[in-house]
A and B are shown apart, each in its own frame.
Chain A
Amino acid sequence: MSADSTPTNPNAGGSKETANPTVDGSELIRFDKVTKRFGSNTVLDELDFKVDSGKHVTLIGPSGSGKTTILRLLMTLMKPDEGTIKVGGEYLTHEERGGKLVPAGDKHIREVRKNIGMVFQQFNLFPNMKVLRNITEAPVHVLGLSKDEADERARELLDLVGLGDRCDAYPTQLSGGQQQRVAIARALAMRPQVLLLDEVTSALDPELVAGVLDVLRDIAHSTDITMLCVTHEMNFARDISDQVLMFDSGRIIESGSPEKIFGDPDHERTREFLSAVL
């Protein structure tokens, strides 16, 4: 189990390590003093944290605490107001030019972003493409795979998510749970190093949740993909996580192993939150 983050932990009396090595080999994601505001509302407040390669990290906390914002920043769906984000040692939204850090061009962002995949709350499959093409389109046109290669990879992934027989369906012909499983396959088809899961079961009918979570458990246990997961499914979080981060008001107030956070949290706020959702 990892203690691979540098959370701002009030209870630890500000004993935050500052002499981190910049890259420790296995460090995959790093946030440095990242601030994000919406108007006067500060959603993330000088957030520092890092995730090591292969770890499964779950972000929990009340809504509006900034969890989803972290995923959206990583996916470059929005840009940080201050601070930097590194993925695999590369700046995500910045470039070093002449020794100075400047906002990155679209091409650089796209290049770094290829390492990241995301599954959305509302699936966001392309309704104008059949299931198979939803999965093959990006591998073919972004990664440059041949059509056959992409097809083969897509069929394997559809088998993995239990939908091998639905290649020729349109997304509207699938149930929510099936759509979400296709969306997982679509994200994996890009072979990302990091998979972002943004409340992937929140939009599903209760009886469809288990199927999606089973698929994700399977992926978590059988691959070495790094996962960042925002979820309200605490049992799922307990099963797959190496580390749980508790957010409140744009800060990480507590982090630790799932046993620790769910069993014996240090922070009063964490206790309150968990008793409300469990």
Chain B
Amino acid sequence: MSEITPGLWELVFKGLWITVQLTVFSAALGAVVALVIGLARTHRLWIVRFLSGAYFEIFRGTSALVFMFLVFFALPLGFGWQLVPMWAAVLAMGLTYGAYGSEIVRGAVAAVSPAQREAGIALSFTPAQSLRKVILPQAWPEMVPPLNNLLIELLKGTALVSILGVNDITFAGSLVRNATGESAPIYTVILVMYFVLAFVMTRGMRLLERQAKAGIGQAPPKRRKLSLRQTNDLAASGVSGGTGGAA
């Protein structure tokens, strides 16, 4: 039984930094994939829908870990070059979690009222303008909470890369365990670290959600009273005596 030495702590904090990087890079790739695949799945051309749907089903139905192995071990055999484990991991995680994310994007875009698209047509927007100015800004607040869940899944999923030998915190944890001969202290520390990371991300996403809601004229969900419609409207007086807000 021995102490966790400063040298070992350094290993853990380096691992923490690697985990953060893995999460950020995978999330960035995943976000791009989610947006592209998610929108492609609502495309009017069936071939685009078919291909993007196939991508989604394949990545949803396969294991990120096995895919990571495939990228890391099989690519060199086939093509004669090998990705650094870190990038193999980012690629595998980004493509997989991007596929999950595409479902969130697709759902949120589909949930925007068709009437909004019609209003865009009536103003002669191109489909791209309509998407950028009208549809996506309204779909975004709907996406944030489920994307937050996915992001936390992704964070915890990064632990898989320790199997490839990437020195993230989980990997560092196993090194420390070997050095000290004790599991409980170091793995407790690492659990707490994951929790803190997840908590910080959740707070960040809350902020994002609040901002997104304010951006479509929905007040922050602080003072949520029992009124269905906002009738506390100054200029309503310009119309007639009292607007009939349901009591």
Known: A128-B216, A205-B244. A162 touches B121 (CB 8 A): no
Known: A172-B217, A175-B236, A177-B239. A128 touches B137 (CB 8 A): yes
Task: Contact check, B235 vs A137: say whether CB atoms are below 8 A apart.
Answer: no
The contact of A173 among B115, B121, B217, B239, by CB within 8 Å, is B217
Q: How far is the CA of A205 from the CA of B122 in the complex (A)?
A: 25
The contact of B122 among A117, A129, A130, A141, by CB within 8 Å, is A117
B129 at the interface (CB under 8 A from A): yes
A126 at the interface (CB under 8 A from B): yes
Residues of A within 8 A of B217 (CB): 127-128, 130, 170-173
Task: Contact check, A172 vs B124: say whether CB atoms are below 8 A apart.
Answer: no
A207 at the interface (CB under 8 A from B): yes
Q: How far is the CA of A172 from the CA of B218 in the complex (A)?
A: 7
Task: Contact check, B124 vs A114: say whether CB atoms are below 8 A apart.
Answer: yes
Q: What size tier do the contact residues of chain B reach?
A: 20 to 34
Q: Could you tell me the distance in whole angstroms from the C-beta of B247 to the nearest C-beta in chain A?
A: 15
Q: Could you tell me the distance in whole angstroms from the C-beta of A202 to the nearest C-beta in chain B?
A: 14
Task: Contact check, B115 vs A120: say whether CB atoms are below 8 A apart.
Answer: yes
Task: Contact check, A207 vs B215: say whether CB atoms are below 8 A apart.
Answer: no
Residues of A within 8 A of B134 (CB): 126, 128
Task: Contact check, B233 vs A141: say whether CB atoms are below 8 A apart.
Answer: no
B63 at the interface (CB under 8 A from A): no
B133 at the interface (CB under 8 A from A): yes
Residues of A within 8 A of B124 (CB): 110, 113-114, 138, 142, 190
1/0 contact trace for A178-214 toward B, CB 8 Å?
1000000011001000000000000001011001000
Q: Could you tell me the distance in whole angstroms from the C-beta of B195 to the nearest C-beta in chain A?
A: 35
Q: How far is the CA of A166 from the CA of B234 in the complex (A)?
A: 10
Task: Contact check, A128 vs B138: say whether CB atoms are below 8 A apart.
Answer: yes
Known: A128-B216, A178-B239, A207-B239. A77 touches B121 (CB 8 A): yes
Task: Contact check, B125 vs A162: say whether CB atoms are below 8 A apart.
Answer: no
Q: Could you tell me the distance in whole angstroms from the C-beta of B125 to the nearest C-beta in chain A?
A: 6
Known: A124-B116, A172-B217. A178 touches B236 (CB 8 A): yes
Q: How far is the CA of A172 from the CA of B124 in the complex (A)?
A: 24
B118 at the interface (CB under 8 A from A): yes
Task: Contact check, A137 vs B119: say whether CB atoms are below 8 A apart.
Answer: no
Question: Looking across the interface, which residue of chain B has its beta carbon closest to that of A189?
Answer: B123
Known: A141-B129, A172-B218, A178-B235. A75 touches B240 (CB 8 A): no
Interface residues of B (CB under 8 A from A): 113, 115-116, 118-119, 121-127, 129, 133-134, 137-138, 215-218, 230-231, 233, 235-236, 238-240, 243-244
Known contacts A127-B138, A138-B123, A187-B122; 18 further A-B pairs (Cβ under 8 A): A76-B121, A113-B121, A114-B124, A122-B115, A127-B216, A127-B217, A128-B138, A141-B125, A142-B124, A163-B235, A170-B217, A171-B217, A172-B217, A173-B233, A175-B243, A177-B239, A178-B236, A207-B239
Interface residues of A (CB under 8 A from B): 75-77, 106, 110, 113-114, 116-118, 120, 122, 124-130, 137-138, 141-142, 162-163, 165-166, 169-175, 177-178, 186-187, 190, 205, 207-208, 211
